[in-house]
Amino acid sequence: MRTLVLGSLLITASVVACGSSSDSQGTSPGGDTPDAASSSSGTSGSSGGSGQLPPLGDGGTTTEHDGASSGDSGTGKDAGGGDAGSDSSVGDGGLFQVGAHPKFPLLVRGTPNAGVMKAPVIIPIFFPGFDHTAQVKEQLSKLGTIATYWRDAVSEYGVGAYTYGTPVDLTEAAPKTIGGNAIASWLTAKLNGTHPEFGTPTSESMYVIYYPKTTGISGSCSDPAQNGVGYGGYHDALQAANGATVAYGVIAECDAFGPTITNSLDMVTVAGSHEIIEAVTDTSPGDGYATIDQMPLDVFLQGNEENGDLCAVNHSFWRPGGPYPYLLSRGWSNKAAAAGNLDPCQPALPDQPYIGAAPVMPETISVPGSGSGPGITIAVGQSKTVDVQLWSTGPTAPFTVAAKQHRGDTTLGFAWNKTTGVNGDVLKLTITVNSAGSGKLETFAVTADINGEHTPIWAGVVKN
């Protein structure tokens, strides 16, 4: 199973998870426990630094832009010294020069020709007492047609047109508490052919179960034992009585989720869309697009590497607005990521360039189970300093960077020469190993932030 967990990977409250569920006893029907969302040719640069994904083009590393942002007081390229003004990385001809950065990760398919829905049918299930039945029905009924959401979030992976199935409005009371195994057993029984309201399940079906906030789902944000810090949803698959492998999602209802979601409606619409775009691209968790091609980011994400996860850890949501007021999880685009000058989370946020900060790790190290990749060797009690590259896909005000570990992990300490900068700046980060981590490995992430609304992460691995 894959779970939605917003931010819990970074010592903050969690949001949504992908993959399978986990009972309090530690069992996991789909494999992964909820913890806290093939390469294509490049795409052409976007106009105005919006990061939107246009039709396939020739790619490149520049972005058309009208000019630097207002209030520019300097080049913003001080290699870590002094105060940087607004970004002015616009050269002759109005082409914005995206600062140097590592290649963005690409999603990798676990099993060829598997794990992707060609004609998905989304069927929501509502218990009495769920607070947002009418709103979620409207959200899901239009999810496939609102703007370019479905195309941008999932279609490049081979997912077909979205179909909204017939909702199931239950009359039975929701349980007070429940775990992942019990949920799977309950839904399996409902799909045994004796409950016509559930329809005939197929390999293209996805059932999405919405539990009211009065139900504590084990390990989720609705579980009283989690004190509000848990996953918001997950998806998994089961075998129905007719032999079909059927995807399903489980959504908790919580009044707040992570650092930026402060009401239960936003929480359930983000969680629902998150699990849907993941399930249609990774139907039986692990068979579809469930991993990425880069270490150390895959080590840091601990298995939460589906298309929704890679954007959820960036606190990256989209509200179309107007007649469609619902907050949605965006999806990671391999096409945009391969271009290198677009927002890899699609649809792109209007007027919000994609920003980032990445540590430049000078060595190649090996991590069991994850292969080799950039890292650094530091003995316990010692320190080393690395460069951190800052970039953006369009002019921005200075943004703030930070280095963080998973919740409760204090094996590393961090010191910066400065914590703000703009596209093209190179900051200095001193890493100190306080104590050895498991396997003498420690992980961390560098975040970039503008007004708490956009927080991409880039990971690093330290070996002792």
Sign of the CA dihedral with 239 first, then 240, 241, and 244 last: negative
Tokens 């003004």 sit at which residue?
Answer: 85
- Could you tell me if 285 and 294 are in contact, meaning their C-beta atoms sit under 8 angstroms apart? no
Each residue of 277-289: pLDDT tens digit?
Answer: 999 999 998 999 9
| 52 three-class SS | coil
Instruction: Answer with the residue of higher pLDDT: 126 or 73.
Output: 126
Q: 60's torsion region: left (phi>0), alpha (psi -120 to 50) or beta?
A: left
Q: pLDDT value at position 83?
A: 37
Phi then psi for residue 461, to 5 deg, are -125, 135
Instruction: Answer with the residue of higher pLDDT: 53 or 262.
Output: 262
Residues 394-401, mean pLDDT to the nearest whole number: 93
Residues 184-188, mean pLDDT to the nearest whole number: 98
Instruction: Answer with the residue of higher pLDDT: 259 or 381.
Output: 381
Distance CA 145, CA 174 (A): 31
What string of H, E and C letters represents the secondary structure of 150-176?
A: HHHHHHHHCCCCCEECCCEECCCCCCC
Task: Check pLDDT > 90 for residue 161.
Answer: yes
Instruction: Answer with the residue of higher pLDDT: 357 or 367.
Output: 357
- Could you tell me if 106 and 39 are in contact, meaning their C-beta atoms sit under 8 angstroms apart? yes
Task: Check pLDDT > 60 for residue 141.
Answer: yes
Distance CA 269, CA 329 (A): 8
Give the confidence band of 368 by pLDDT, cuts at 50, 70, 90. Answer: confident
- Could you tell me if 377 and 363 are in contact, meaning their C-beta atoms sit under 8 angstroms apart? yes
Task: Check pLDDT > 50 for residue 374.
Answer: yes
> Residue 45 has what DSSP assignment?
P
- Choose the most confident range, by mean pLDDT, from 285-299, 360-374, 379-393: 379-393
Inter-CA distances, 345 with 39, 61, 66, 154, 354, Å: 15, 17, 23, 11, 9
Q: Residue 371: in which H helix or E strand, if any?
A: strand 371-377
Residues 162-167, mean pLDDT to the nearest whole number: 98
pTM (2 decimals)?
A: 0.82
List CB contacts of 194: < 8 A, sequence separation 6 or more. Answer: none
Instruction: Answer with the residue of higher pLDDT: 33 or 367.
Output: 367
Q: pLDDT value at position 294?
A: 83
- In terms of Cα–Cα distance, which of 422, 415, 417 is closest to 399? 422
Residues 344-361, mean pLDDT to the nearest whole number: 90
| Domains of the chain (ranges, CATH numbers) | 2-38+108-317 (3.40.390), 355-463 (2.60.40.2310)
Which residues lie across from 461 on neighbouring strands? 443
Q: pLDDT value at position 3?
A: 56
Instruction: Answer with the residue of higher pLDDT: 140 or 286.
Output: 140
| 267 three-class SS | helix
Q: pLDDT value at position 100?
A: 92
Each residue of 224-252: pLDDT tens digit?
Answer: 999 888 999 999 999 999 999 999 999 99
Preceding peptide of 128 cis, ω within 30°: no
Give the confidence band of 89 by pLDDT, cuts at 50, 70, 90. Answer: low
Q: pLDDT value at position 454?
A: 60
Distance CA 304, CA 431 (A): 25
Q: pLDDT value at position 165?
A: 98
Q: pLDDT value at position 76?
A: 30
Residues 203-214, mean pLDDT to the nearest whole number: 98
Q: pLDDT value at position 18?
A: 56
- Could you tell me if 165 and 137 are in contact, meaning their C-beta atoms sit under 8 angstroms apart? no
Amino acid at position 94, single letter: G
Task: Check pLDDT > 60 for residue 306.
Answer: yes
Residues 438-457, mean pLDDT to the nearest whole number: 84
- The pair of structure tokens assigned to 346 is 């699609």
Q: pLDDT value at position 295?
A: 78
**Mean confidence (pLDDT) of the chain:** 81
Distance CA 435, CA 54 (A): 47
- In terms of Cα–Cα distance, which of 6, 5, 7, 10 is closest to 409? 10
Residues 98-127, mean pLDDT to the nearest whole number: 94
Pairing type for strands 355-359 and 107-109 reads unpaired
Kindly tell me the number of DSSP H helices and DSSP E strands found in the chain.
7, 28
- Could you tell me if 16 and 3 are in contact, meaning their C-beta atoms sit under 8 angstroms apart? yes
Q: pLDDT value at position 12?
A: 34
